[in-house]
Amino acid sequence: MLSDPVTHVKGVGEKMGEDFAQIGIHTVEELLNYFPYRYDVFEIKPLSELIHDDKVTIEGRVIHDPSLTFYGKQKSRLTFTLEVEQVAVKAVIFNRAFAKKHIHSGDTVTLVGKWDAHRLQITVSTYKKGPASQQDEMQPVYPAKGELSPTKLKKAIQQALASYAAAIDEILPAPFLTAYKLPSRKEAYQTMHMPKSRIALKHARRRFIYEEFLVFQLKMQLLRKWKREATTGNVQQYDQLRVKAFMDSFPFTLTDAQQSALHQILADMASPYRMNRLLQGDVGSGKTAVAAICLYASVTAGKQSALMVPTEILAEQHYQSLTELFGDRASITLLTGSVKGKKRRERLEQISTHQLDIVVGTHALIQDDVQFADLGFVIVDEQHRFGVEQRRVLREKGLYPDVLFMTATPIPRTLAITAFGDMDVSVIDQMPVGRKEIETYWVKESMLDRVLQFVGKHIVSGEQAYVICPLIEESDKLDIQNAVDVYHDLRAYFPASIHIGLMHGRLSAEEKDTVMKQFANNEIHLLVSTTVVEVGVNVPNATIMMIYDAERFGLSQLHQLRGRVGRGEKQSYCILIADPKGETGKERMRIMAETTDGFALSEQDLQLRGPGDFFGKKQSGLPEFKVADMVHDYRALETARKDAQEIIDNDLLETKEYQALLQYVENNFQTDEKLD
Ligand code: ADP
Ligand code: MG
């Protein structure tokens, strides 16, 4: 059985078993899943094409018996001549005296080794009697790991394949293999470790890519189904008329995209299932408006609700805009780290006795002493900024509350279906009408003076500007230093009538708050800042976003920053100052200047920078695939997702043909996953 311990493989003893355990390989199956990271391709090429000092493969006939000489201490040299393409080539084999017994005049041999083009000589590393077979063309190379050398790994894997091939059962139902022309599981394993040809290897890889994606998608979709079915009991019977009246009080009508997202969310709330939904929408697409309506719906259903956001500034902004929207329709409070002492105790008391309907807050919301009387609805804004654990704690403050996650980071589709495959997703992919497009310019640093004049002119005419400082990878401290330097430079540059403020992560919450308030009141005209202003900040009078060293930022992040302007009636500008060295850097600046669609940018970012940039490093929630690459193989991912959905929707996993697949998927769950 493939689940046998790896020590059952011939040649793998106790010691080696321990070495394997060290690198996470315990079973035969895990050993077989240790795929080569590359293949050495030994192609037989004409002598005239062989390159001096390269590793080459040649095939020829031995002209006379090898001669063996010994030298030094137990060192030997075996030499012979062979005829290749009617040319005499000299072969040397060091320290393998026994080879003399194997190689004789008249034999055809295949030699792999280092080529000396001047002397027409090969220093042999591997030899084989007989002509080169297809198999010799591609040699798997395994990454050495821990105590295990590539050679040891290879030996063990080849041995495992030899003895366990018959135990490799198919898990994909036959129609899939036929439809996609995929090799069997057994054949695919054999090919991955001993490819007979490049074509065969391509198909074996295709098979594992599809298998990995399908199993993953089945798992996610099963989780989603279970989560829905396991958590009945939260029906929020909201008051449709009151909700409608609330919407009618808005100074605008919802866009179609907002409407449809709203309906999906409200349907979840009214259903007995617990909502587990992600609401995606570009900055300014009107998510907050939708969220407000949902919060109100929950209030009319007699429940309490909570809105958790990552920063104090955002919490206060949301609190303010919600208070304005709601008027006396609901009682709202704010709970952040700055709410302390008596004030905090009072609010907690009111929350626990349901005197308050809606609580807006930061991490302060998830502390132990925060007790809700009847929490029915939770919204987590910029959810990727919170850890899994923090989201869970908030959720558990209610009895099966409906949960809505919101993000303004447009997430590329492939990432969305991998990272959030166990959620329902609503997308607001449309901007409210009448928005002026932000004009974006990319300029070189040599143009800085002209840019600053442009900024000064707009400020004098009553507008405001952000200046974002260079980002220095991994160094908060240097970022701040940069901001401080720029702040002083600009103070020296502009007349004192232009008020310049400074904002960075080291300021206390109160200091940040003061600065933001001054900026919001136009007492500060130009705000120099690190990327802390990135998310959600809303000052409609600000019309210029100037970004230093823009090439250091990801496209998605630049787009987020750009979203800080263009929030009012006036024409807004985004100015990227950058002198990128390479072509991709230039390309990225061009893309930024041309594209205002956040989803398009995020797709580009994914292609250029890979998936790591979209979420925090650790809490990404992105699965690791052995063969598949979700960026490169996105088509297969789409196919697998559709197939998985069909399988789940039609309950096919219960049928006989799907038993092996079901079994495999179930073994794939970590024990705690089903419970979350
Ligand atoms: P998001 O939270 O997605 O960034 P907001 O909900 O804050 O977007 O909306 C941005 C601005 O657009 C706000 O000033 C809001 O009042 C306004 N807005 C929202 N929806 C509409 C709409 N359908 N029509 C016009 N303006 C809207
Ligand atoms: Mg519900």
Q: Name the closest ligand to CA 325.
A: 1
What pLDDT is stored for residue 617 in this prediction?
Answer: 45
pTM above 0.85, yes or no: no
Q: Tell which one of 247, 288, 428 to mutate to probe ligand 1, the residue whose CB is within 8 A of the most ligand atoms.
A: 288
pLDDT of residue 389: 67
Distances (CA, A) of 562 to 184, 199, 257, 531, 557: 50, 47, 22, 11, 9
Ligand 1 proximity of 36 Cβ (cutoff 6 Å): no
Question: For 439-595, CATH number?
Answer: 3.40.50.300
Q: What is the CATH number of domain 240-428?
A: 3.40.50.300
DSSP state of 676: -
Convert the pLDDT of each residue in 294-340 to its tens digit. Answer: 999 999 999 999 999 888 878 888 898 899 999 999 999 999 888 88
> How do strand 439-443 and strand 573-577 relate by DSSP bridges?
parallel
Q: What is the mean pLDDT of residues 278-305?
A: 92
How many angstroms does the Cα of residue 609 sit away from the middle of ligand 2? 38
CA dist 491 to 47, 468, 485, 501, 532, Å? 71, 15, 10, 9, 21
**What is the predicted pLDDT for the residue at 383?**
66
- CA-nearest residue, atom 17 of ligand 1: 286
Residue 418: the pLDDT is 76
pLDDT on residue 185: 96
Q: Is the CB of 537 under 6 A from ligand 1?
A: no
Separation of 75 CA from ligand 2 center, angstroms?
79
Structure tokens at 399: 């009895």
**Ligand 2 centroid vs 570 CA: distance in angstroms?**
41
Q: Which of 387, 316, 337 is nearest to 536 (CA)?
A: 316
Give the other-Cβ count within 10 Å of 390's Cβ: 18
Of the listed ligands, the closest to the CA of 259 is: 1
State mean pLDDT over 393-420. Answer: 79
Ligand of minimum distance to the alpha carbon of 298? 2
List helix spans (H) across 535-597. 555-562, 583-594
Nearest of 349, 328, 331 to residue 339 by alpha carbon: 349
pLDDT on residue 139: 81
pLDDT tens column, 51-77: 999 888 899 999 989 999 998 888 999
Spatial contact of 375 and 349, defined as CB atoms under 8 Å apart: no
Give the pLDDT score at 386: 62
254 lines ligand 1 (CB under 6 A): yes
**Which residues are near ligand 2, the ion (C-beta closer than 5 Å)?**
234, 269, 271, 402
> What is the 539 CA–ligand 1 centroid distance (Å)?
13
CB of 80 closer than 8 Å to CB of 58: no
pLDDT digits (tens, 9 = 90+) for 508-545: 878 888 898 899 899 999 999 988 775 556 788 999 99
- Evaluate: CB of 407 within 6 angstroms of ligand 1: no
Write down the architecture of domain 43-135 according to CATH: Beta Barrel (2.40)
Decide if 190 contacts 50 (C-beta within 8 A): no
- Which residue, judged by its Cα, is nearest atom 5 of ligand 1? 286
User: Distance, CA 235 to ligand 2 centroid (Å)?
Assistant: 5
